[in-house]
A and B are shown apart, each in its own frame.
Chain A
């Protein structure tokens, strides 16, 4: 695969902020097809803000977010929907609809965007739940699921339309280490088994070292990216001492 074809997401000269407050200024990076890419940074460094701009929830002050070469920032109507269909998003709490069972939550995008029969939709939704290990909880309401199960169900819903990219917002937040490790294993399985590209925003170092192929590190003082590379490599070779400290969990 040639280098341009491998690049799935391009963030170019992206400046984001709230009103006059600039959070990130002219940042550039690329995400390659099939990799698990992580955005890392301390609290308040703009990780979640960056994610919201990458998935089109917020409009940047300046710059582009290209997904498979199409600019999400300027796209409208059907073009925008076409880009949105390329990715799924897992929100911090799973964002399941409380009045729907797990299988109904997963089925929802199929109901809205396809003409498939009821049988086909049930089969697909159940297969996604099995992929994330929730086949036994298909008929349970979100309130009856644990935090980890809700996130798994959220992933099942996010992949039900077979997107090529999955954005994860703090996937390990609020989970115990065992559940968190289980979720990491699921991310690896989906990335390697199905070829899904993952973009995750997190400050959980265990997850980063467990699943991420590459990371970018955001620094609130620099209002941008201060390091980029494989997490283990950065731990030893990052030029910024702060990044090495951060990755090695050392007190400054």
Chain B
């Protein structure tokens, strides 16, 4: 058989037929990661076309061979291209022989036979339920621990690290003001625009101001502030505590006889409870400020707009918004800290606990908001 040499290929090979199906495959040139795929494919076709009884693979004239080339030689030697006929490799340098020995048929068979564990639906449901129940238990325990921690700090104020509370207050609160302002300003604007047209059809466009005041103080102010707190600061709490857990700082606290909840969580929860109403008031004002230019644009004078907002709002509306915000603040801070403390091991653990903190916080905020809505509706009857 003639020597095959593609113009730009550095590897050459020749298959010589001997007596009684004894074949010799001679390889020359360079067998590397670039040439091997082509040579592999061609040899597979050419060897399939002949009936071999034995195969000798001569690599004496091989100038260079890397792991890719050795993989090809190994495949040839175990009869990968000549079913039932194993090959003998001759002419390997001592260095390559050492590498060639690292290829093993047994390893490959074991790898091929390995099947990833199949999941079972019943087991999965059971596992998920068990995990959920454990998580619920941890949450209840955690709420108890945090409540005890806060109560303890009230009776023994020196236990509360107010410096840490102020630090969290600044990072999670003061630094969040620009983004809270911008978002709620835009939300106020959108509400004014969206409600102006339907109310105009009823001849009640002036009530856009009343609607804006009510929506911002009772609903969107607290909810937007809480969601912002969860996304911006709750995730930071979870990541911070999670990293501390991965770095064994929490273990260090425990072995010093300090409770991580008392030392790290209580401060953040207190900061969250104090912070959320402040952010909410800020969000309410920013939302109103966003709606006012729209109303002015619709032709209503400023005194009239302000009068409408004032007349539509009652102390109860503000109180409802602020009480919601306190609950939301407590939810965000405590859930985020819990997720941080639940951080597992490995590089993905912190990311996972951060995601869980945001998802859980937002879910619980909406849930608590629904409960509030039901309660206020019932009380208002």
Where the two chains meet, the residues of A that have a C-beta atom closer than 8 Å to any C-beta of B are 98-99, 103, 110, 113-117, 119-120, 122-124, 126-131, 135, 138-139, 143, 160-162, 193-195
Contacts and interface: CB of A to CB of B under 8 A. Distances in A.
A98 B348 contact: yes
A193 B94 CA distance: 9
A128 B99 CA distance: 9
A135 B40 CA distance: 25
Given A116-B68, A124-B67, A193 B95 contact: yes
A120 B72 contact: yes
B99 A127 contact: yes
A216 B173 CA distance: 52
A120 B114 contact: no
10 contacts: A98-B346, A98-B348, A116-B71, A120-B36, A120-B68, A120-B72, A120-B75, A126-B108, A143-B346, A162-B66
A133 B164 CA distance: 50
Contact of B103 (A115, A127, A143, A193): A127
Contacts of B347: 98
A130 B95 CA distance: 16
Interface residues of B, number: 30
A136 to B, nearest CB: 8
A114 B69 CA distance: 12
Interface of chain A, main secondary structure: helix
B21 interface: no
A131 to B, nearest CB: 5
B67 A160 contact: yes
Contacts of B75: 119-120, 123
Given A139-B116, A161-B67, A194-B98, 14 more contacts: A98-B346, A115-B37, A119-B80, A120-B72, A124-B70, A126-B104, A127-B67, A127-B74, A143-B346, A160-B67, A162-B66, A193-B95, A194-B95, A194-B99
A114 B68 contact: yes
Scoring B66, B67, B107, B108 by chain A CB atoms within 10 A of each residue's CB, the highest score goes to B67
Interface of B: 33-34, 36-37, 40, 66-68, 70-72, 74-75, 80, 95, 98-99, 102-104, 107-108, 110-111, 114, 116, 345-348
A99 B352 CA distance: 13
Contacts of B104: 126-127, 130, 135
B346 A128 contact: no
Given A139-B114, A162-B67, A123 B103 contact: yes
A131 B70 CA distance: 14
A120 to B, nearest CB: 5
A130 B107 contact: yes
A2 B36 CA distance: 32
Scoring A99, A143, A162 by chain B CB atoms within 10 A of each residue's CB, the highest score goes to A162
Contacts of A123: 71, 74-75, 103, 108
Contacts of B348: 98-99
Nearest to A113: B33
Nearest to B99: A194
B67 A117 contact: no
A138 B346 contact: no
Scoring B40, B70, B71, B346 by chain A CB atoms within 10 A of each residue's CB, the highest score goes to B71
Given A114-B68, A116-B71, A127 B345 contact: no
A131 B102 contact: yes
Contact of B108 (A115, A116, A122): A122
Scoring B72, B346, B347 by chain A CB atoms within 10 A of each residue's CB, the highest score goes to B347
Contacts of A162: 66-67
A126 B111 contact: yes
A139 B102 contact: no
